[in-house]
């Protein structure tokens, strides 16, 4: 081989490895600049879970409508396993590690949210093959679930007032609703959602079967979805710049969540002004509240049934990256009432 040919071969070899290096670097950039809508590798663990009512407000709570307390420590056993003995047709869902789902809440006259999972979730291994598309599928909440991607459960509140008028129900200690284990876990608050449905109220002496089987098919349910944080990380701000969307860290960006099933849906079609046509057949505006200063529901005298949801919103613009290290939270709800019924 001549010196000229040898040098040419060496230059080609260097060029090849340089191009290969650029491809690898580009791949890494794509992995870490693409947020994982409906990612299955996301790990969010609730390691403490408590529901309480104010001791001085004449309220009591129950998971089955018969065993009344002022504080309930919620575990997998209390929420699903043991409850089946006294509330045989419950459809509660426990989640050991939450992953991303999406919902706008109620879609029909029933009292359960329409929750959508991804049939082909993004994964750490092989995720690049479908990281621009989602395959939303409606979950079926028709039986108890021990290994769900989100929390859903019924709760009963007994208001012992004899007033013919309703009091107001509040959630207090808003800042303690979600308590991250460490500062590194604060990021998860950007994508969390807490939802609640008011189903109905029966008399304090109603039979257990009537209490447990309350539904709101005739009058329609009332709901709210609480969004604990509307701030954004620097990573989100920079990501949106690549889509020609300019935001600041404290600017509220509306979430358009999934409300219909579909196959191979471009994840950017649920973000307005993202250079991809908005898909109104799949996504709809998620109406949320961002503080809990106002009463959440009226609270009549008697026993009221509610359904509670806790999930990580997969269509939130701040949803966690695929390479999630895992996040741990304590979740606690403090219910309180006023005495509007006597005012």
Q: Residue 23's Cα: distance from chain center in Å? A: 36
Reported as a pLDDT band with limits 50, 70 and 90, residue 201 is: very high
- Paired sense of beta strands 44-53 and 71-73, if any: antiparallel
Reported as a pLDDT band with limits 50, 70 and 90, residue 194 is: very high
Rounded Cα–Cα distance for residues 343 and 339 (Å): 7
Q: Please, what is the Cα angle at 35 between 308 and 313, to 5 degrees?
A: 10
Residue range 281-297: average pLDDT?
A: 96
Rounded Cα–Cα distance for residues 301 and 163 (Å): 7
Q: Which of 28-32, 51-55, 229-233, 301-305 tops mean pLDDT?
A: 301-305
184 SS3 class: helix
116: closest CA among 14, 260, 276, 327? 260
CA torsion angle 292 95 105 283 (round to 10):
120
The whole-chain average pLDDT of the chain stands at: 83
> For position 327, what pLDDT does the model report?
84
> For position 232, what pLDDT does the model report?
85
294: closest CA among 189, 169, 197? 169
The burial class, CB within 10 Å (0-12 / 13-18 / 19+), for 130 is middle
Q: What are 308-325's pLDDT values in tens digits?
A: 999 999 999 888 654 556
Largest CA distance in the chain: 103
Rounded Cα–Cα distance for residues 314 and 193 (Å): 10
pLDDT-above-70 percentage for the chain? 82
Rounded Cα–Cα distance for residues 139 and 136 (Å): 9
Give the CB-side neighbour count of residue 68, counting CA atoms within 13 A.
16
Reported as a pLDDT band with limits 50, 70 and 90, residue 54 is: confident
Q: Which of 10-19, 177-186, 259-268, 333-342 tops mean pLDDT?
A: 259-268
Assigned token pair, 166? 């309703």
> For position 272, what pLDDT does the model report?
85
């Amino acid at each position: 081989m001549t010196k000229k040919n040898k040098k040419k071969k060496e230059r080609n070899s260097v060029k090849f490895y340089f191009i290969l290096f650029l491809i690898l670097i580009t791949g890494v950039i794509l992995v870490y600049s693409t947020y994982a809508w409906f990612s299955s590798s996301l790990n969010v663990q609730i390691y403490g879970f408590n529901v309480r009512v104010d001791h001085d407000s004449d309220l009591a709570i129950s998971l089955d409508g018969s065993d009344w307390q002022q504080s309930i420590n919620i575990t997998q056993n209390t929420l699903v396993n043991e409850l089946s003995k006294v509330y045989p047709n419950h459809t509660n869902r426990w989640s050991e590690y939450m992953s991303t789902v999406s919902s706008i809440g109620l879609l029909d006259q029933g009292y359960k949210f329409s929750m959508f999972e991804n049939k082909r979730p993004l994964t750490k291994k092989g995720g690049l093959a479908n990281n621009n598309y989602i395959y939303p599928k409606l979950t079926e909440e028709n039986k108890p679930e021990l290994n769900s991607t989100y929390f859903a459960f019924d709760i009963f509140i007994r208001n012992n007032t004899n007033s013919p008028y309703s009091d107001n129900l509040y959630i207090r200690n808003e800042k303690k609703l979600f308590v991250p284990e460490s500062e590194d876990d604060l990021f998860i608050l950007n994508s969390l959602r807490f939802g609640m449905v008011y189903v109905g109220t029966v008399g304090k002496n109603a039979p257990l079967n009537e209490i447990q089987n309350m539904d709101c098919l005739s009058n329609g349910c009332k709901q709210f979805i609480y969004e604990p944080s509307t701030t954004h990380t620097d990573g989100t701000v920079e990501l949106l710049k690549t889509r020609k969307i300019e935001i600041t860290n404290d600017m509220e960006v509306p979430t358009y969540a999934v409300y219909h099933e579909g196959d191979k849906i471009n994840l950017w079609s649920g973000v307005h002004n993202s250079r991809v046509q908005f898909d109104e057949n799949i996504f709809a505006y998620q109406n949320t509240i961002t503080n809990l200063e106002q009463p959440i529901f009226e609270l009549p005298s008697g026993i009221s049934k509610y359904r509670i949801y806790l999930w990580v919103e997969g269509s939130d613009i701040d949803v966690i990256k695929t390479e999630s290290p895992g996040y741990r939270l304590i979740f606690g709800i403090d219910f309180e009432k006023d005495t509007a019924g006597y005012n």
